[in-house]
Amino acid sequence: MSLLVVGSVALDAIETPFGKVDRAIGGSATFFSCAARLLHPVQLVAVIGDDYPEEGLARLGRDGVDLAGLERAPGESFFWAGRYSFDFQDRETLETRLGVFAGFEPKVPEAFRDARYVFLGNIDPTLQLQVLDQVRSPTLVACDTMNFWIEGTRESLMRVLERTDVLLLNDAEARQLSGEWNVYKAARWIVRHGPRVVVVKQGEDGALLVEDGRIFAVPAYPLEELFDPTGAGDAFAGGFMGYLAHTDDVTPANLRRAMVYGAAMGSFAVERFSIERFEEISRDHVEARVGEIRALVDCDAGAGS
């Protein structure tokens, strides 16, 4: 079933305790697509500037990613610079330049408007609404957001939530949005405001799926080396949505299975800078990691990984 993503396609400058990259390929739609395409074809809607490298385009538009909705505008591509603390517990934004994203008006190509699975990456909720206005009758709409929009454009965001089935966000964002410290209370608050499902991403502590009266917990894959956490949340969303679109099944049991694909993709994202790890792996690697994550919580396995 067709899977559409709208989000940022950006260039990132990143500093981690292990090194530094400048103008690395990044952005929410980029990480989402690189992960999701390993499970299901992706239709991408975004904008880049005239500085975006050809080599980057070639890497983004690999098998399974349809770039028909990628607009090229005069000006600079979205740019983000950030630095992680020695223990990866803190991330400092050094610079954000919206560039061509400032004047972006997403246009969903006619061929994409029947998309059945829609992911609204972390961008201005006003743009997310514009995309929703252009898709005809999606089976499932998922959405991501961040502190900047929760604080600055709360009203638009609440309108997006009314039209969203699944909200993905991290625990700090869930707290900020709901005003509840306890993560389960925060999720229940959100479920009362539109989405029927909330996915709380907790980094190295895994992720929670909260529906009305039902909770599922997926552990994080145990990594001894974290290389670059940038994009892990978007890769999680790519695994989650890619699996749902591929199986075309939004039952509670399948949402749980999709969470494990999300966790697997998130763990790949952090193993290298930028999207590098996704260029090395195949569907087989994904399935193997999904198996390992399931074994992690298998109460009856004596010989799990």
202 binds a copy of itself (CB under 8 A): yes
Whether the Cβ atoms of residue 227 and residue 271 lie closer than 8 Å to each other: yes
User: Could you tell me the smallest distance in angstroms from the CB atom of residue 98 to a copy of itself?
Assistant: 34
224 binds a copy of itself (CB under 8 A): yes
Alpha carbon distance 105, 92 (integer Å) = 29
Structure tokens given for 264: 């697997």
User: Between residues 94 and 297, which has the closer beta carbon with respect to a copy of itself?
Assistant: 297
User: Could you tell me the smallest distance in angstroms from the CB atom of residue 213 to a copy of itself?
Assistant: 8
The residue among 285, 168, 42 whose CA lies nearest residue 9 is 42
User: Could you tell me the smallest distance in angstroms from the CB atom of residue 259 to a copy of itself?
Assistant: 8
Out of 55, 179, 251, 282, the only residue in the binding site for a copy of itself (CB under 8 A) is 251
Q: In what order do the strands lie in the sheet with 78-84?
A: 19-26, 10-16, 78-84, 91-97
Number of other residues whose CB lies within 10 A of the CB of residue 229 = 18
189 binds a copy of itself (CB under 8 A): no
222 binds a copy of itself (CB under 8 A): yes
Structure tokens given for 188: 């229940």
Whether the Cβ atoms of residue 219 and residue 293 lie closer than 8 Å to each other: yes
User: Could you tell me the smallest distance in angstroms from the CB atom of residue 188 to a copy of itself?
Assistant: 8
Whether the Cβ atoms of residue 83 and residue 92 lie closer than 8 Å to each other: yes
User: Could you tell me the smallest distance in angstroms from the CB atom of residue 285 to a copy of itself?
Assistant: 19
Residue located via tokens 């399974």: 64
Alpha carbon distance 163, 33 (integer Å) = 22
Torsions phi, psi of 36, nearest 5? Answer: -60, -40
Out of 18, 151, 181, 280, the only residue in the binding site for a copy of itself (CB under 8 A) is 181
User: Could you tell me the smallest distance in angstroms from the CB atom of residue 220 to a copy of itself?
Assistant: 8
266 CA to centre of own chain: 9
User: Between residues 86 and 162, which has the closer beta carbon with respect to a copy of itself?
Assistant: 86
289 binds a copy of itself (CB under 8 A): no
299 binds a copy of itself (CB under 8 A): yes
Using the contact rule CB under 8 A, the part of the chain among 7-15, 100-108, 146-154, 210-218 near a copy of itself is 210-218
Sign of the dihedral defined by the CA atoms of residues 172, 173, 175, 176, in that order: positive
Out of 90, 105, 162, 300, the only residue in the binding site for a copy of itself (CB under 8 A) is 300
226 binds a copy of itself (CB under 8 A): yes
Binding stretches for a copy of itself (CB under 8 A): 87, 181-182, 184-185, 202, 205-206, 208, 214-219, 222-226, 251-253, 256-257, 259-260, 294, 296-305
